[in-house]
A and B are shown apart, each in its own frame.
Chain A
Amino acid sequence: MISQQFEYSAPATLQEALDLLANEGAKPLAGGMSLIPMMKLRLAAPEQLIDIGRLRELNYIRREGEQMHIGAGTTHWDVESSPIVRAHCPLLSETVSNIGDIQVRNRGTIGGSAAHADPSADYPAAFCALEAQFKLVKKGGERVVGASDFFVDMLTTALESGEIIAEVIVPVEQRGTGVSYQKCVQPASGFAIVGVAVRVSSEFVRIGVTGLGAKAYRATNAEEIYTSTHDAAKAAAVVADGADSNSDIHASASYRKHLARIYTQRALKEAASRMG
């Protein structure tokens, strides 16, 4: 329950942080909700922690036209309690309220959750359904990566060494779009055994799935079936097809797939009922 030693820096600006992160062995620390427990169990041992958790530059929620821009350092609580997010991206509000508990949501950040890429985290389901864009920055560089390219594998993202998420960009939800996040909770950890985020309108449907496989994904095959049939059960039936399902003491692979289908159906139905 005690981490290994490390050097600590609390840069005052993002630029300063990126300079420090360019050092080998440096790792960013935001809310620390994933990293610190791993360090305490000595499953992670960074040599240098760059505290980006106090950078105001990374802490904002803005609407710009048809997009929402959320600074990577914005805490789950700030997202959860934001009237702008509730009005313009209700899927994020709903999803974030499912993360951990009050204390974890008070500290954990949207960028930190994305960067950790826990296969059972809630946010990634919404990121996939929202086709979120991640603005990634490093010393001397900036790029934007979509959610489907960002999540690479279990605990692995497209982030390069020295690179951090600066911003998460999601679309402003149009009138007539219904959303839902449905989650089967792992009773001990509170993480998702499976979590399914859905956006549906008369124009489109988007389905993001977390917990089932090594990484969150967009279930395009299920989306296609729903688009052509508007049948939640038929769409849900294929949501786990081809997925290399996780299996642990909380849910076997086959049960997880079953849950993914059930929760997809629930999310589709609830989202459809909210299309208004």
Chain B
Amino acid sequence: MATTTITKTEKLVGKAMRRQEDPRLITGSATYVDDIQMPGMLHACILRSPHGAANIKSVDIAAALAHPGVAAVYVGKDTEKVGPVPCGASLPGLRVPHHYVLAIDRVYFIGHPVAVVVATDKYIARDAVDLIEVEYETLQAVTDPEKAIGPGAPPVHPEWPDNVAFNYHQEGGDVDTAFAQAEVVVKQRITSQRLIPSSMETRGVVADYNTGDKALTIWSSTQIPHLMRTLVAQMLGAPEHKVRVVTPEVGGGFGSKLNVYAEEALMGFVAMKLGQPVKWIESRRENCMCTIHGRGHVDYFEVAAKKDGTILGIKLKLIQDLGAYHQLLTPAIPTLSVLMMPGLYRCQNVRADIVGAFTNAVPTDAYRGAGRPEATHGIERMVDILAAELKMDPAEIRLKNFIHNDEFPYATGTGLSYDSGNYAAPLHKAMDLIDYHNLREEQRQARSQGRLMGIGLSTYGEICAFGPSPATPAGGWESATVKIEPSGMVTVMTGSSPHGQGEETTFAQITADELGVGIDDVIVLHGDTAIVQYGIGTFGSRGTAVGGTAVYFALQELKKKIKKYGAMLLESEEVSFSDGVCVDHKTGKSVTLAEIAGASHRAMKLPPGTQPGMVETYFWEPPNFAFPFGAHAVVTEVNRETGDIEIKRYVAVDDCGNIINPLIVAGQVHGGVVQGLGQALWEQAVYDDNGQLITGEFMDYAIPRASMIPWIETEHTVTPSPVNPLGVKGVGEAGTIGCSPAVVNSVVDALSTLGVRHIDMPMTPEKIWNLMEGARA
């Protein structure tokens, strides 16, 4: 039997290490949902609404049912008792439409599921879908959220003709006085367009029902296996302990898999009805139409300031495009924007009013950043607009308004407590890296040659490490179990359910350091509710800050037990444990972790009051969020002929607290920045007036390609978080949050000589060209 032979002193935390999870991924031996094959497995294909809004007059499934190979066809009436699809967010007065898993008599958005065909083969299932005849009475649709809440709009839900799902108000300080005392007030309408998250793996579900055990197993590509288990059990009326959710390899989520969808319950329903396993894999078109979208804001900002640039007050009217339903967190997302609306600035006087608007579109929900990119984009645009108004340098106005280093923890006007910060540091670093002051000189020269060169900054902050349980809908803690096997090998089970973030590596780094074992002596398991204790999941940049911290605390508990066994074996009163060895310093005798682990399992003798075995579980409740921050600096040049934007340099300086693995952090920043660039420059979910999704495929929805993006220069400052003992803050969303305002600020700066003050995203060449044409006219 192999035992842990490596005892080491080299610390792995902080080291750029290649990932433990990669060998299976680079060899094609990983198992994603669609890779699961089971004997007798059936395949489901869903008939979806081709209309944005319509009444269903009739559904004729006879021909589909008669098609050879078809096992069953279900329509809305069959699944009436399943569900509803859950909304976990609660707001005062929130209107929650009943969200059936299959539409019954009305469809509310294109792609709305109407019927499901189950067949022996997915080709047959697809053929049979075409044999279902649905008679629709089409209705007028509305997809623009401002139009939806305006006069004369068609009602999305007839019971609520104003299309308002909720109104939400939050206020801090004394906004009216701040605006009354202002020497300058700047106002701007700023949109944050609907985006399609577009994980490369679409969603997928396999469900299998054991008729003897009356036990249901669901394999789903999700970020939240345990919450899904609880919620799907509710939706199906199944006892929770007989529902098991397994997340195999997950091909990206970005928030879109932080949800429970109709299809998970629907497949569970089918498996229970038929007693056979069933698989449903979402097509890309379905993913574009039916998996949640992100963003969807129309924001009206007002900022009051003194002439010296001191920000006095901020007002925000936010119209959130909700879509037709609430998915898990839909209405909560814009409230996160409100929390972050003051950004990094010392402004206590804030007022926000949100109107949640129903539209005939797929629901919006969490997409990388989830509310914070919108807030950051807004405040960082407004600060630049204010700087322009006051003819101040954008860096200077930021430095003037930053919360000071000695003010942390800092209580914001929106009720948060920023944990730690040194906001000027990354800004200075970014400016040094990009050579800001010389760039301004270069810009003057470029302008004198008629070139449109821009320099843009953003200084972002974000709420990460979600989060204290009272502030989250379903518990904000995370769990970890660490076991030392009899051989001394280490198994970590985390309630986080990573899908690309590299937690199998970073958690193993933490574990290896604490136990003094090699990284290959540690395995990190996750994503199976039958194996792993209840957990919350991976989202909101919480993996390491909350999940990693739970691992850390479980290890501390385990080390106490190790020392008890070590003392017993060494017949000593007091021993120390480090680098995988317990030592009695008086005698110099020592015992290894493997020997201790073996002894604890054989249990020939137990330390007083100690159980056999070597397992500890820890549920960690974070006392606060963590608040990463940073500064991005971008140089752009606009082509006068075409409106094309060239990004000439991109610098990202992030402060995510302590760094466990710099290689992984860099990867997170790169990926985040590129999703931010996608929003700034290309991506947009476009519905037409009938509710048709124009960007329903990658042929029209522009995911950035390698050739479209610049080299990203990354750097860090390190301000540890006091919230957790690892001092980490979170980095998964930082790149996205910092990116879009920096890019837009840069392009607005480039066009400022033409009188351009603001540009909404995506900044397509045509939009830029129109602005230039307008300036020429």
Contacts and interface: CB of A to CB of B under 8 A. Distances in A.
Interface of A: 1-2, 4-5, 41-42, 184, 187-189, 249-252, 255, 258-259, 262
Contacts of B764: 250
A36 B695 CA distance: 20
A270 to B, nearest CB: 14
Given A2-B123, A262-B641, A249 B698 contact: no
Interface string B633-676: 00000000110000000000000000000000000000000000
Nearest to A263: B642
B766 A188 contact: no
A5 B67 CA distance: 14
Given A249-B695, A252-B766, A187 B682 contact: yes
B769 A187 contact: no
Contacts of A4: 127
Contact of A2 (B126, B697, B701, B703): B126
Interface string B605-636: 00000000000000000000000000000000
23 contacts: A1-B126, A1-B285, A2-B122, A4-B127, A5-B127, A41-B697, A187-B682, A187-B705, A188-B695, A188-B698, A188-B701, A188-B703, A189-B698, A189-B699, A249-B694, A249-B700, A250-B700, A251-B766, A255-B766, A255-B770, A258-B769, A259-B642, A262-B641
Q: Name, among B122, B700, B766, the residue most crowded by chain A CB atoms within 10 Å (CB to CB).
A: B766
Interface of B: 122-123, 126-127, 130, 283-285, 641-642, 682, 684, 686, 694-695, 697-703, 705, 708, 764, 766, 769-770
Q: Name, among B123, B699, B708, the residue most crowded by chain A CB atoms within 10 Å (CB to CB).
A: B699
A232 B689 CA distance: 41
B226 to A, nearest CB: 31
A59 B686 CA distance: 42
Contacts of B770: 255
B777 to A, nearest CB: 13
A249 B123 CA distance: 33
Contacts of B283: 1
A248 B705 CA distance: 21
Given A2-B123, A42-B130, A249-B686, 16 more contacts: A1-B283, A1-B284, A5-B127, A41-B285, A187-B682, A187-B702, A187-B708, A188-B698, A188-B701, A189-B700, A249-B684, A249-B694, A255-B766, A255-B769, A255-B770, A262-B641
Nearest to B281: A1
The main secondary structure of chain B at its interface with chain A is: loop
Contacts of A5: 127
A250 B766 CA distance: 8
Contacts of A262: 641-642
A8 B122 CA distance: 20
Contacts of A259: 642
A252 B766 CA distance: 8
Contacts of B123: 2
Nearest to B769: A255
Q: Name, among A2, A187, A249, A262, the residue most crowded by chain B CB atoms within 10 Å (CB to CB).
A: A187
Contacts of B127: 2, 4-5
Given A1-B283, A4-B127, A259-B642, A188 B700 contact: yes
Contacts of B708: 187
A4 to B, nearest CB: 7
A88 B775 CA distance: 46
A5 B641 CA distance: 49
Contacts of A41: 285, 697
Q: Name, among A2, A42, A184, A251, the residue most crowded by chain B CB atoms within 10 Å (CB to CB).
A: A2
Shortest 5 CB-CB contacts between residues of A and residues of B: A188-B702, A187-B702, A2-B126, A255-B766, A189-B699
A258 B686 CA distance: 23
B642 A188 contact: no
Contact of B699 (A1, A42, A188, A251): A188
Nearest to B770: A255
Nearest to A262: B641
Contacts of B686: 249
B144 to A, nearest CB: 15
A249 B682 CA distance: 11
Contacts of A252: 766
B502 to A, nearest CB: 28
Contacts of A187: 682, 702, 705, 708
A193 to B, nearest CB: 9
A175 to B, nearest CB: 32
Contacts of B285: 1, 41
